[in-house]
Structure 1
Amino acid sequence: MPRGRDLILKALDNLNEDEFKRFKNKLLTVPLRDGYCHIPRGTLQALDRVDLTDKIVSYYLESYGLKVTVQVLQDIGMREEAVTLQQAAGAGIHFVDKHWTDFINYVIQLDPVLDKLCGNVLNEEQCQEVRAEDTNLDKMRKLYSFMEDWDLSRKDLFLKALKET
C-alpha cells in the first residue's frame, strides 16, 4: 500500500512548473479544517516538490494532507490529477475509513470500546469529550473527528477493540 507522502509527491511530480507555482499559491488560501493552519507564504515559496511534500505531511499529516492536495489540484483545474491521486489513495484506504458510516450507524455499545482506547489511542480529554455526547450516534461522530488523523496502528487498535467488545 503506497504511503500518503509518496502519493502526494507523485502528484506534485506530474505538475509542470507553472502548475506547481499555481499549486503553491492556492495552497495558501485553500479552506482548512478547524485546528489546521496554512503553511506560511515565506516558507512555501522556496520549497521544491520533495520539500513541499514533507511540509504538507508535517502540517496536515498524511491522511488530511492527501485530502488537501486533492482539493488544491481540483481548485487549480487539475481535475485529472486530483482524480488519479484520489483513486490511488482510495486503493490504500484502511478498513475503518472505508466502513466508517457503518460503524457510526451500527455500533451500539461504545463505552467498552472507549475503555480499551482511553490511554493508548485517545487521551483522557478526548475520551471525556466522546463520553459527554448525548447519543451514541453523536459519540461515534465525535470519535471519528479524532480518528481522521490517526495513523494505521491506531486504526488497527480501534478495530481490535471493536472486535473484542
Structure 2
Amino acid sequence: MTRARDLILRALEDLENDDFKKFKLKLRTLKLREGFNAIPRGILENLDRVDLTDKIVCCYLEDYGLVLTAEVLQEIGMREEAVKLLETGSHLAGNAAQPRQHSSATSTVLGIHFVEKHRTSLINRVTSVDAILDRLHGSVLSQEQYDAVRAENTHQNKMRKLLGFMVAWDKSCKDQLLEALKDLHPYLVQELERN
C-alpha cells in the first residue's frame, strides 16, 4: 500500500541536486501551520532524501507532510510536481473512507481546503479581488490586512497577498473566502472542483 511517506520520498528523489538544496532552504523558511515548528537548520543541512522524508513525517505527520512538501515544491517553481503529488496523494487508501465532496466542497480527501489546493489557479485567474476583500473585511481581514492587499498593483499580487494571510485562518475563514469566490466567480469554482 502506498503511503504519504512513499510519495514524499518519490518526490524528493525526483529532484536534481540544486533543486533539492532549494527545497531544503525553502522548507526552513516557509511559514508553517500553527502548532508546527521548522526543522532546525543544523539538522536540515545534512539530511539526504531518505532522512529528510523521515524528518518531514516525524515533524509534520504524513498528511500535513505531504501537503507541506507540495507547498515547498510550488515555492521553488515546481508547480507540476506539486500538483501531481497532491493528486496522487488524494487517492491514498488510508484516506479512502473520507468522501470527496463536490459543488460545496471545502476540502479534499487529505484535509486540504479548496482555497489551499487551488491557490495557484486562484492567484492567476481571480479578477474580482476588491469585491472579495469587501466581503472578508471585518470578519476575516483586519483593516491593516485589507489595506495591505488593496495596496498591491495587480490582481495576481492582491490574491497572492490575500492568500498569504491564510496560514493564520481557521476553516471558517477559508469557507468565507470560498463562499465569496462562489458568488463572484462561480464558473471558475465549478471548473476547479472538477479537477
Which TM-score band (shorter chain)? Answer: 0.5 to 0.7
Kindly state the Cα deviation for residue 95 of structure 1 after the two structures are TM-superposed.
Answer: 2.9
After the TM superposition, which residues 39-50 of structure 1 pair with which residues of structure 2 at under 5 Å, given as runs?
39-50=39-50
Kindly state the Cα deviation for residue 2 of structure 1 after the two structures are TM-superposed.
Answer: 1.4
Of 41-50 and 88-97, more deviation after overlay is shown by 88-97
Instruction: Determine if the alignment matches structure 1 residue 91 to structure 2 residue 80.
Output: no
What is the TM-score normalised by the length of structure 2?
0.50
| Separation in structure 1 between the aligned mates of residue 87 and residue 105 of structure 2, nearest angstrom | 21
| Separation in structure 1 between the aligned mates of residue 106 and residue 32 of structure 2, nearest angstrom | 25
Kindly state the Cα deviation for residue 90 of structure 1 after the two structures are TM-superposed.
Answer: 1.2
After the TM superposition, which residues 60-99 of structure 1 pair with which residues of structure 2 at under 5 Å, given as runs?
60-92=60-92, 93-96=95-98, 98-99=100-101
Of 9-18 and 76-85, more deviation after overlay is shown by 76-85
What is the TM-score normalised by the length of structure 1?
0.59
Aligned-residue RMSD, C-alpha: 2.4
**2:39 aligned partner, one-letter code:** I
Q: Deviations over 1:61-111 (max 9, x none)?
A: 00000000000000000111111111110122433263497799xxxxxxx
After the TM superposition, which residues 96-135 of structure 1 pair with which residues of structure 2 at under 5 Å, given as runs?
96=98, 98-99=100-101
> What residue number does 1:18 align with?
18
Aligned residues: 106
Structure 2 unaligned residues grouped into runs of 5+: 108-170, 173-195
Question: Of the two structures, which has the highest relative contact order with CA contacts closer than 8 Å and spacing of 6 or more?
Answer: 1
Shift of the 88–37 alpha-carbon distance from structure 1 to 2, 3 Å rule, reads: same
